[in-house]
Amino acid sequence: MRFDVFAMCNALFDLQAEADPGLLEELGLKPGGMHLVNSDQHAALVARIRSRIVNQAAGGSGANTTIGIASLGGSACFTSRVGRDDFGPAYRESLSQAGVHPSVPAGEGATGLCVVLITPDKERTMCTFLGEGRNLSPSDLDLDALRNSVCLYVTGYLWDTDSQKEAVMAAIAEAERLDMPVAMSLADTFCVTRHRDDFRRLLADHVSIVFGNEEEAKLLSGHESAEQAAAHLGSAGRTAFVTLGGRGALAAQNGTVTLTPAEAVPLVDTTGAGDAFAAGALYGLTHGKSVEESAYLGTSLAARVVSHLGPRPPRS
């Protein structure tokens, strides 16, 4: 099978569960907060919410992007690791149902989870457990799928473990052997701050397409304006896309920067907007569209995502 995009990121199974304030207190969670939980906290959390789950779906930044590509009629393969628990097979099945080819071998750890606890006042408390995805290694790569792809897409989240970094660099080496473009999402400002020097070397030596929001682009480039940051990232043969929230997105290539305004839609939930933009832009680039046309596809898909709850585009 031929894929438009071969994507690598952390596999996080998204769970929404109903909760009462007493449960949050019992689990030591601040209402409305975002919490990174360890394995012991993960076990306690799962035990308490199993009967309260109201919605579940494959997620994580890279997976959201592949699902967006599939929603546009494109083809994508997603690579990470899951656990040998109930959530691992469910993660694969959810990806398949969304039209994405899952290349997610199982390891001894637990599947990564992103749990949103919804209390009666509709406040959302988020708990993230990175899980087995952190153990992705070069031996997990489906090289046949990679070799049959148009573009490699990686996210900055993979720079937090040596094993994941080795997997990414192995995939990049294979992509470069095939003259395949390498695209990268800067992930978030915390990733850029932690790994700024590594990211700068990646862009200088390997990455031809880069995605980031305004703050991420400024942090990485060292420039104070989004336009200057985009021009810097979109130079030296690279293409850069810098999202600006409700103002739209900048596309830069050969130092030339163009603005694509955001579509005017009711703002419901911005979760996954950047992932959706990357999906639209990657779909465009892998289907012969110009940088400007690809930016338009990105802003259009992002508009569909932010106008409803959740990180996926609504089913047409």
Residue 35 belongs to a domain: no
Tell me: the pLDDT tens digits for 170-216?
Answer: 999 999 999 999 999 999 999 999 999 999 999 999 999 999 999 99
Tell me: the pLDDT tens digits for 4-14?
Answer: 999 999 999 99
Residue 103 belongs to a domain: yes
What pTM, to 2 d.p., does this model score?
0.95
pLDDT of residue 228: 98
Tell me: the pLDDT tens digits for 108-143?
Answer: 999 999 999 998 988 889 999 999 999 999 999 999
Q: Is the Cα torsion angle 63, 184, 257, 200 positive or negative in sign?
A: positive
pLDDT of residue 307: 84
Helices 214-221 and 226-233: angle between axes, nearest 10 degrees = 60
Residue 19 belongs to a domain: no
Between residues 126 and 285, the one the model is more confident about: 285
pLDDT of residue 86: 94
Domains: count for the chain? 1
Residue 29 belongs to a domain: no
The H or E element containing residue 249 is: strand 249-253
Asked if pLDDT for residue 316 goes beyond 70, the answer is no
Residue 181 belongs to a domain: yes
Q: Which residues of 101-134 are buried (b: 16+ CB within 10 A; e: fewer)?
A: bbbbbbbebbbbbbbbbbbeeeebbebbbbbbbb
Give the range of the structural domain holding residue 218, as residue numbers without chain letter. Answer: 3-11+59-109+132-306
Residue 18 belongs to a domain: no
Asked if pLDDT for residue 39 goes beyond 80, the answer is yes
pLDDT of residue 123: 85
Domain at 75, CATH number: 3.40.1190.20
Neighbours of 197 (CB within 10 A): 8
Residue 50 belongs to a domain: no
Residue 118 belongs to a domain: no
Asked if pLDDT for residue 315 goes beyond 90, the answer is no
